Amino acid sequence: MFKWLGVALSGTIAVGVGLIAYLDANPLGELQLQSLFFQWRGRVKPPENLVILAIDEISLSQGEFYHPVKRPYLEPLRHTPWKRLVYAQVIDRLMQAGAKVVAVDVLFTTPSVYGIEDDRALERVLQKYGDRVILAANISSSDTTEAGITQLETPADIFTVAPRTPAFVNFFPAGDGTVRHLATNPLVDISDLQPFATATLTSAQIAYPPPTGDMIYYYGGDDLWLLAGQQIPFYYAIEPANWHSQTLQGGKYFRDKIVLIGSTAPSQQDIQPSAVGRIPGVHIHAQAIASLMEGRTIREAMPLNWHKAVFVTLWLSLVSGTLLMIRRPLVQLGATIAIVGVWVVVTYGAFIYWYVALPAVLTVVGTFASGVTLLTVGAVQQQIEKLTFKRTLERYVAQPIVQQIVQQPNDYKTMMQGRTISAAVLFSDIRSFTTISSYLPPTALVAQLNEYMTAMVEVILNEQGTIDKFIGDAIMAEFGSPVSSGAKADALHAISAALGMRCALAQLRHRWQKENKIPFVNGIGIHYGEFTVGNIGSPRRMEYAVIGDTVNVASRVEGMTKDLGTDIAITAAVYELVKEEIEVIDCGDRQLKGRVGTVHLYSVVGWKGADPSLFHEVQTALQRNQQTIEEWYAQNCQPPESRNLPN
């Protein structure tokens, strides 16, 4: 039942997770894991021919140091926004230094606040260098009371020179609000414009492989370009000392490089959420250009939701099938963790090194859910089986032994397969039970027999004995099977059980006499030796049993108690183990029925130094047993006219 419950639950999980994949209800988890992959990987060195000329906070503050004689070059920076003249000067200087292309991530979509001559200064530079200068176009959206309006804002309305190369700079965020994809825009018709990254590489005449995906491969976070030495403050390009410094070498630093001009200052409010944290917009453009240039754009392995749904469902079905074949809970848990670990490594490697995004979160969560579900079902099943097994054992085996077996189930399974051990075997039988059963009605007989068996079994179990079987009124038990405490200890437990049975039966006999019931007496035989123990029977009925000569001897010794006139008889093998602890009567060598040779027997009186009065009381009861039964019958039953009563 539990196996099919596990199959049903894991199947439900597989279908449910597949449905989530189909509905695309878990994009955020996948995106966050991809960000984690970038974090695990660390920084990657960006292409050396890609440089950012950063409009940083230091550059923005340079206008404060303007001096008409000492620092006249800072005049265009005195107020914000800067004069377009300064952009014209910097672009011209970069081009003369040998830059491949200058891409300006600054919007010039409205006339300069400093007048038309400021615009003309920039226009002359644009005319001079043509399509080697990329200007930014913007797709803006606004809401009215009636409808939303989307429009394209380009520098074309300001600068009339040709050729001009505007490119749109918009990135549209993914489901978690971060920029992860290359610039695209389906909202307006911009078929005549390229994305900023594509236009820059085209203008630089850099051949790059066709992109296999539309996701940006992020090389690092906010400090990437600075630590790589490829982010230069904007004002370095206009300040003579820095322009001729060891770093820029009079502009030689920019030779054959792509130069991006854009804001990195938080005050300019162009800090965007990305897959590697909040970074300036110009950094995102640089990452997109680098991804295209080096062929590292990332593609979805399964772009359609139904592809993901089928994959996830099949994956979880395979995982569940594998886990169902594992029976041990700890191994099953380990296998679940291993599968998850391997899949995380695979998805990480595919994402970082092969630029393929595989479904990771849903498969990982589904695998964990399946593993935990099957582990829980298996644990519940194991606990129920263990409890059932324990309750079954407790009917036959002493509680301490049950605990040992339950705690070592694998050892117990080995025991069940069959083995040879040494232990003490005890047989007990009610004297004249055939006569008694002919006198008592069935209900009364069974009730009194159960009362007797309960008392005897309680004593045996208290002495760590194992009830092997009931044969009519006879009881067979072992001491030292399936778990031994040592030869002497096992033999002493058997002796203690026999003496306890003598005492318990004496108490029952006294009570039964008061209740006008037939008093029972019994005989007990004990032998110690080797025998075979294991699960014996057919597939339809198995029984944990012991077989061998030791068992036969113990049974024959119990039968000899009638001839010896005692209730407890033991063999020399038992006596040698416990002789320092008990008082006995030597009965000599005896011939056992069905065996060749003799066996030395002893009648057990009791523990050394103990009061022997109970032993003598029992001997008297044994001698008078037949007479006692007949007297009870005469007093309580109408004797039949003719009856052959067995002895």
The encoded tokens of residue 278 equal 């909040």
Query: What's the domain range around 521?
Result: 399-636
Among 389, 419, 451, residue at a domain's last position: 389
Among 267, 293, 319, residue at a domain's last position: 293
122 and 243 both lie in a single domain: yes
* Cβ neighbours around 81 below 10 Å, total: 12
The CA distance from 174 to 579, in Å, is 88
Burial class (CB in 10 A: 0-12, 13-18, 19+), 626: middle
**Number of domains the chain contains:** 3
289 and 311 both lie in a single domain: no
- The pLDDT score that the predictor gives to residue 164 is 57
- The pLDDT score that the predictor gives to residue 643 is 45
CATH code where residue 445 lies: 3.30.70.1230
pTM of the predicted structure, to 2 decimals: 0.65
- The pLDDT score that the predictor gives to residue 642 is 43
473 and 613 both lie in a single domain: yes
Burial class (CB in 10 A: 0-12, 13-18, 19+), 563: exposed
| Residue 37 covered by a domain | no
* Residues of the chain where predicted confidence (pLDDT) is lower than 50: 1-2, 163, 396, 398, 640-647
146 and 78 both lie in a single domain: yes
| pLDDT per position as a tens digit, 12-23 | 776 777 777 777
| pLDDT per position as a tens digit, 107-161 | 998 999 999 999 999 999 999 998 899 999 888 776 555 555 677 788 867 776 5
264 and 336 both lie in a single domain: no
DSSP string over 295-314: T--BEES--SHHHHHHHHHH
List all residues 6 or more positions away from 615 whose beta carbon is below 8 Å from its beta carbon. 502, 605, 606
Q: H/E element holding 498?
A: helix 487-514
Residue type, position 127, single letter: Q
The CA distance from 495 to 491, in Å, is 6
